[in-house]
């Protein structure tokens, strides 16, 4: 019997602001996560593919300014936005990705077109944008990605140290103005992602990000790299990660979960927990991941204090969470 279709999403992980938590902001995050889960759940309920469900979920996460992807992406050291995304189909092992795009409204849609329409897997910069334009995807003025919250975070990071990453900076904005996010915006690893299992027994994954605050132009993290930030294989699982990108790249974190299942016979829970709680901390890797297997099991481990996350099985109410 085919397991019930299910989708899971994440919106980044990081350090909880423990003083003067903003209840209204928390409610906004829960509402946003629930609404996006319901959209993906609807696709799965109508017999849609896991690939369609994760693509739509990540597109909606990109459109939501609460998260660091698309509209609401963080700033580079040059005061610009460079966005990355990837998708993978567990049924075929086909994948597509783009990185360092600056005008594509929804990078995940560009990644999906790479998967479907190109013999290649990854396009970067001007080449990625030329491909997206040829596919008729929507372009926007770079100002579209700008939000005042992200701009303040960038100014804070620049004030602390020119090359300081967003997750290393002290929470200056929170001290000055009070928190506006449940997870400290200066100690948050901002990536979004989705994984799903459909009614046909196939899994898929998608990941998208604006990167890290004040990053050097041209820097690419794990999000668009198949095996690091995104991986899907019907024989094992689908995985999307969020965290210190360089560490997830060095550990091939997403693929490592799959490999532990395939070669060691580990369960999804065992494999994901080992990667997040044991392997990554060895090199100071912080963050988390979401994963689903072909049996319908879901796991959402993280080694930070919080991670925006949730899942929804077809026919059941979405479940969302922020803290541990």
Cβ-in-10-Å burial (0-12, 13-18, 19+) of 63 comes to: middle
Interatomic CA distance for residues 34 and 36, integer angstroms: 5
220 annotated ligand binder: yes
CA atoms within 13 A on the CB side of 9: 32
243 annotated ligand binder: yes
Tokens of 203: 């899994």
Q: Is 240 within 8 Å of 95 (Cβ atoms)?
A: no
Active-site residue (options: 15, 55, 76, 191): 191
193 annotated ligand binder: no
219 annotated ligand binder: yes
Tokens of 129: 């944008």
Cβ-in-10-Å burial (0-12, 13-18, 19+) of 265 comes to: exposed
| Among 134, 133, 137, residue whose Cα is nearest residue 108 | 137
For residue 143, give the DSSP letter: G
149 SS3 class: helix
Interatomic CA distance for residues 255 and 222, integer angstroms: 12
Q: Is 313 within 8 Å of 3 (Cβ atoms)?
A: no
245 annotated ligand binder: yes
207 annotated ligand binder: no
Q: Report the run of H or E that residue 225 belongs to, with start and end.
A: none
Residue burial 26-59, b: 16+ Cβ < 10 Å; e: rest: eebbbebbbebbebbbebbbeebbbbbbbbbbbb
Residue 312 makes CB contacts below 8 A (sequence gap 6+) with 6, 7, 8, 37, 38, 40, 41, 318, 319
Interatomic CA distance for residues 249 and 44, integer angstroms: 31
Interatomic CA distance for residues 145 and 23, integer angstroms: 26
Is residue 320 part of the annotated active site? The answer reads no
What residues are labeled active site? 191
Please give the annotated binding residues for substrate, written as ranges: 219-222, 242-245
């Amino acid at each position: 019997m085919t397991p019930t279709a299910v989708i899971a999403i994440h919106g980044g992980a990081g350090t909880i602001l423990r003083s003067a938590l903003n209840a209204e902001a928390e409610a906004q995050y829960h509402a946003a996560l629930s609404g996006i889960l319901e959209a993906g759940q609807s696709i799965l309920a109508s017999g849609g593919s896991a690939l369609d469900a994760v693509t739509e979920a990540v597109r909606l996460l990109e459109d939501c300014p609460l998260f660091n992807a698309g509209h609401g992406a963080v700033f580079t050291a040059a005061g610009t936005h460079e966005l990355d995304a990837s998708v993978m189909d567990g049924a075929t092992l086909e994948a597509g990705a783009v990185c360092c795009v600056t005008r594509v409204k929804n990078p995940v849609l560009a990644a999906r077109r790479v998967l479907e329409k190109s013999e290649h897997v990854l396009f970067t910069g001007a080449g990625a944008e030329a491909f997206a334009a040829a596919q008729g995807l929507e372009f926007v003025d770079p100002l579209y990605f700008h939000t005042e919250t992200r701009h303040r975070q960038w100014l804070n990071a620049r004030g602390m140290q020119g090359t300081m990453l967003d997750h290393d900076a002290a929470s200056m904005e929170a001290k000055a103005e009070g928190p506006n996010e449940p997870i400290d915006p200066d100690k948050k690893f901002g990536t979004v992602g989705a994984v799903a299992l459909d009614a046909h027994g196939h899994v898929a994954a998608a990941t998208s990000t604006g990167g890290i605050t004040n990053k050097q132009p041209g820097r690419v993290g794990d999000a668009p790299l198949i095996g690091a930030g995104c991986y899907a294989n019907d024989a094992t699982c689908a995985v999307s990660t969020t965290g210190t990108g360089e560490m997830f790249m060095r550990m091939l974190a997403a693929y490592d979960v799959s490999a532990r299942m395939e070669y060691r016979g580990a369960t999804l829970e065992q494999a994901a927990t080992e990667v997040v709680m044991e392997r990554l901390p060895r090199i100071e890797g912080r963050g988390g991941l979401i994963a689903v297997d072909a049996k319908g099991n879901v796991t959402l481990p993280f080694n930070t204090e919080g991670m925006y996350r949730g899942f929804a099985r077809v026919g059941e109410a979405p479940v969302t969470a922020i803290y541990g």
